[in-house]
A and B are shown apart, each in its own frame.
Chain A
Amino acid sequence: MKCLKIVGFLLLWTLAGIPAGFALTPVEDSSEDIYWSAPMTVHDYDKNTDLHNIALSTVSVTELEFLKLGDDLINFTTRSNKSPIARSLDSLEYAYSKLPQLKSVQWFGQFWDALQLRQLSLSDARVLSLFLFTADPYGGATSMMRVRADKLIIFVEDTVHGIDNTLMLPFNWGLSSLRDKPTKIKSLGYVADGLGVLRRGVFQSLDYVNNKLTLFGSDILFGVKKIQDTLIRHKRKKEHGRLPIYAKMPLAIFEKNRSHFKSKKKNAFAGTVPEWQARLLYDPELLPDDIQPADFPLLENFPTQSSSQEVIVATEYTLWEKVPRELKRYVITPDEVAELVRP
């Protein structure tokens, strides 16, 4: 039961934070497109199937007002769009608003409004039942319950203020006349003021906690999405792991990192620009787009080269992914390779 309650709360808090959002659209042939690189994510607030949206919409269904559901049911069975319950209540409220605006009428109106009876929904029923069964003092607060509590306490504050005004009326009237300016001294009003301060403090704290928990709930959903993202990345890497990556670096750098390019299963080709050009002459159809690194064994030596000489390296993505970070700055695009090796 406790667990259910936590889930319920998380979902509700998520509901409070309806965010606008953007989905990332990958550019063709970019790392995001091929490998679903971060920050690519399945998170997309515009999709109805997004986990955040599903959570939010699920909670929303429990927020549907009983009166609205009743009207919908009547509308559906009578195939009309009259919403008789809402209309009747509207008429009643309208009639009430047309009563002479005596203070007592307003007082009752405020009390009625504080109850928020039209807003009763499944979410209240759910939380009330939890409240009854678990006797947990924090179990009864949905967003509408919070509104009701707030409005009811305000109603009490206003009522106490009203009583105070009445009790102090002769005194204040006399004092105002004597001083020739409006003067107001309170008695019970201080109790109402104190209640107001307490109410604001409590609700501010609750709102703060609520905000934090909403974000925490959202983070949990993001955690689920991260798992999904990781799975997609893994799958994409498997599918496109053999795609070639090109890099141009000084020979000295290459020699220093030569060990990273050796692998039992995977291999790399490295050569100077003239060597690449020679291979192109030998098989002009081969490079750069259709390079198969397995066809080009890694040379053990680069004879007759000076240390300032640059080499072009071609590797499979899965091999290149593991090379030290400082080597990644040497990556060049296939277009640039084509430009370099063009005889």
Chain B
Amino acid sequence: MEKTFLFLIGILCLAHTGTGYAQDRLSANSPNGPLPDSKVLVIFVDSLRPDILDKMVAENRLPNIKRIFYDQGLRFENFFTIFPSLTVASYGAFLTGNYPDQSGLKAMSLFERFATRKKNIFERIFRIDETFPRYYDLITDREKAPEILKRNKAKTLYDYLGETFHSTVVPVIPTLAPPAWPHLAANEVEHPYITATESRKIIDDINGKYALRYMVPDRRAKMLMVWFNQLDTDQHKTPGGQFSPQVQKTLENSDQWIGRIYDALVEESGGRHPYVVLFSDHGAYGGEHGVYNQPYYMGHDLFYKTFKMNVRGPDYSITYPGTDQESYVYIDNMGYGQARIFLPVADSLSGNWVRPNTLYELTHYGLGPNRKPVNLIRELLDIDLKERNTFPVTIGPHPVDLLFVKLSDNLIYVARQGGSEALIQVENRNGILFYRYKPVKNVSQNEHGALTYDENPLEDPLGYLKDPKFRAPDAAEFIREYHDSNGWLEAAYETAYPDAVAAIGRAFLWKTELAPLARSQDPDIWISAAHGWNFRTDVIKGTDHGPIFRDATLATLMISGPNIRHGVDPSPHHIIEVAPTLLQLIDYQGKTHFDSAPIEGIYEMS
């Protein structure tokens, strides 16, 4: 018995020597590529602005981020997310490495005019009715976003990696929460009898502790994803947003967790350093110099009060007593800096939801039998709030910055207050999308769908023609041609609307397999807020995200780890480039379906 026991112990001791051998043989260092058998720790700080990070690091307030990403590692100065700059959509792009037209995850709320798929067997057996139109808030209905991705056959990092992908609670997660997470939450809150509400207020601490206790010791995990969300939550309700010291304290707390998790991971790996990626899903706008975003409750002030329409949104509903409660306009204002507007066909009371409206219908939109039709495009662009503008010197009176309408499968109308207009034309050349941005004026459509316009070589809604930061020898000539996503990003990344042309295109388009969803899910009108304004429904002074302009789309990306070069990369990059880069870092060999290759030039000898 004793001999058997000693034999077993001996075997076990030797057993792990074998593992050590295998690792030694694998860790051959090649400075122009990732270290073999590595782990990646991905730190996702929701909405983090890179300039705030730079400032706080310079003030020595983020010692751990400084030592991991500034004293070593590579920082990307021009890293952009998609439009709309919203958490679920952007994280979806990160997670799939696909633009929204490929994944079908296009916003934070899902509106469906009519059914686009057959009922599942359960619904058929039990004859469960589905009523349309219907809508979901993808934050509250957390199971929906993974469902959308699965249904649209968009593969995510967690699909590729299986159990080697281990995350805290994140915006898109296939299980509602990691198994031990609720237990940890119950023991972390101060008052367990109100865990439900209290745990949401300390989600960063719970995620941090979960990472330390369950992710770091996970030997199977190759990619660890930790989400810090409190910065975004706090900035939405603080006038200074990320510029305010109060909100910055949240980031200091995240920094402490990042340090602890990183050190624990190094210790757990026997001193071996993992790759660490710090990224944010989008930026944020407002808050600087005390200029917060002023709320414009468009659903109430314009559609309900002025147009007498019933209005619904992800978290609000306003209807007139006695009216048909099912006749309404749906305004998805999530993120507060953008709004997607869904309307019944031709008339607010038509009850007809078979397709989005044409431009003609939107410019002659009916408001029922007792009211005159309106030009919704003009009404939205011409909203003038000068009477209530708190910052008239720095902020303009118009809350709508840009307005987009899809005219056909490959043509999008762009308009700005003041009359400048453009058309974005998209061509699919052997699977690669090319975009042309055509400044025009006097766009109109007749009731038969015929489009007329005049070319406008002098002015465009994105301002590229006059912007000295537009990187083309001759902007007008560049604009006349079709360019792919990278071409447009290279040209426009220093302007006020970096990557806007491709981002607008991708927001409206659908890949061929998903094309039948367009009529059901495309918004009639999509608007992007102007600086200093948002589309909130409550009177809260805060900062936001969602629009297409620079502050909201410029996000954070930094990589650190073995063989990663030190410095700053000024070249523009896109959020869809992160997933392939991460898989390259852990030497994933399986088949992938990304829209982009890994970021080049991140290694020391590259």
- Residue of A at shortest CB range from B316? A24
In the complex, whether B196 has a CB less than 8 A from a CB of chain A is: yes
- Could you say which of A59, A245, A249 contacts B321, with CB atoms under 8 Å apart? A245
CB contacts (< 8 Å) of B195 on chain A: these are 56-57, 60-61
Contact call A46/B19, Cβ cutoff below 8 A: no
Instruction: Tell me which residues across on chain A come within 8 A of B140, comparing CB atoms.
Output: 19-22, 45
Restricting to A152-171, which residues have a CB under 8 Å from any CB of B?
154, 158-159, 161-166, 168-169
CA distance A248 to B181 in the complex (A): 58
Q: B12 to A101, Cβ gap below 8 A?
A: no
* A37, A61, A146, most chain B CB atoms within 10 A: A37
- Please tell me if the beta carbons of A17 and B196 are within 8 angstroms of each other in the complex: no
In B243-278, which residues have CB < 8 Å from any A CB?
267, 270
B367 CB to closest chain A CB (Å) equals: 10
- Which one, B21, B325, B370, contacts A38 given CB within 8 A? B325
Check if A146 sits within 8 Å of B179, measured CB to CB.
yes
Contact check: which of B22, B200, B322 meets A320 at CB < 8 Å?
Answer: B322
Kindly identify, within residues 270 to 324 of chain B, every residue whose CB is under 8 Å from any CB belonging to chain A. Answer: 270, 300, 304, 308, 312, 314-324
Q: Is the CB of B319 within 8 A of A30?
A: yes
**Most chain A CB atoms below 10 A, which of B187, B317, B322, B369:** B322
Is the beta-carbon distance between B538 and A331 smaller than 8 angstroms? no
Asked whether B327 lies within 8 Å of A22 as measured between CB atoms, the reply is no
Are A328 and B314 closer than 8 Å at their CB atoms? no
- Assembled-state Cα–Cα distance A154/B162 (Å): 15
In the bound complex, residues from chain A placing their C-beta under 8 Å from that of B9 are 104
Distance in Å: Cβ of A9 to nearest Cβ of chain B: 13
A75 within 8 A of B: no
| A40: Cβ under 8 A from any B Cβ | yes
A40-B270 CB under 8 A given contacts A104-B13, A144-B180: no
Known: A17-B176, A182-B26, A249-B369. A22 touches B137 (CB 8 A): yes
Partner of A31 from B181, B325, B537 at Cβ < 8 Å: B325
* A83 lies within 8 A of chain B by Cβ: no
Quick check: is B388 within 8 A (CB to CB) of the other chain?
no
Say whether, besides A18-B199, A30-B319, A165-B15, A329 and B324 are in contact (CB < 8 Å): yes
- A residues near B13, Cβ cutoff 8 Å: 102-104
- Contact (Cβ within 8 A) B319 A37: yes
How many Å from the CB of A259 to the closest CB on chain B? 19
Q: Is B219 an interface residue (CB 8 A)?
A: yes
> Is A184 at the interface (CB under 8 A from chain B)?
yes
* Closest A residue by C-beta to B319: A31
Among the stretches A130-138, A206-214, A269-277, A283-291, the one at the interface with B is A206-214
Minimal Cβ-Cβ distance residue in B for A340 = B370
A336 CA / B370 CA spacing, docked (Å): 10
| Number of B residues, CB within 8 Å of A | 74
Partner of A328, one of B162, B179, B323: B323
Q: How far is the CA of A136 from the CA of B322 in the complex (A)?
A: 55
Q: Are the CB atoms of A32 and B317 closer together than 8 Å? A: yes
A45-B196 in contact (CB<8A): yes
Q: Which of A63-71, A260-268, A293-301 contacts B (4 or more CB under 8 A)?
A: A63-71
Query: Which residues in A have their C-beta under 8 angstroms from that of B314?
Result: 22
The listed residue (A147, A163, A331) touching B11 by CB distance below 8 A is A163
On chain A, the residues within 8 Å of B300 by CB distance are 27
Assess whether B368 is interfacial by the CB under 8 Å rule: yes
CA distance A166 to B16 in the complex (A): 7
A189-221 residues at the B interface, CB under 8 angstroms? 200, 207, 210-211, 214-215
Kindly state the separation between the CA atoms of A330 and B323 in the bound complex, as whole angstroms.
Answer: 8
Most buried by B among A22, A53, A61, A210: A22
Q: How far is the CB of A189 from chain B (nearest CB, A)?
A: 10
Name the residue of chain B whose CB is nearest to the CB of A108.
B12
Task: Collect the chain B residues with CB atoms within 8 Å of residue A150's CB.
Answer: 179
- Are A65 and B187 CB-contacts (below 8 A) given A20-B200, A103-B17, A163-B12? yes
| Contact flags A112-150 to B (C-beta < 8 A → 1, else 0) | 010000010101000000000000000000011011001
Residues of A in contact with B (beta carbons under 8 Å apart):
15-27, 29-32, 34-35, 37-40, 45-48, 50, 52-54, 56-57, 59-61, 63-65, 68, 97, 101-104, 106-107, 110, 113, 119, 121, 123, 143-144, 146-147, 150, 154, 158-159, 161-166, 168-169, 173, 176, 182, 184, 200, 207, 210-211, 214-215, 243, 245-249, 317, 320-321, 325, 328-333, 336
Interchain residue pairs with CB less than 8 A apart (20) = A15-B186, A20-B140, A24-B315, A26-B318, A27-B300, A31-B323, A31-B325, A56-B196, A57-B193, A61-B186, A64-B186, A107-B16, A119-B183, A121-B183, A147-B214, A162-B16, A165-B16, A173-B21, A329-B368, A332-B370
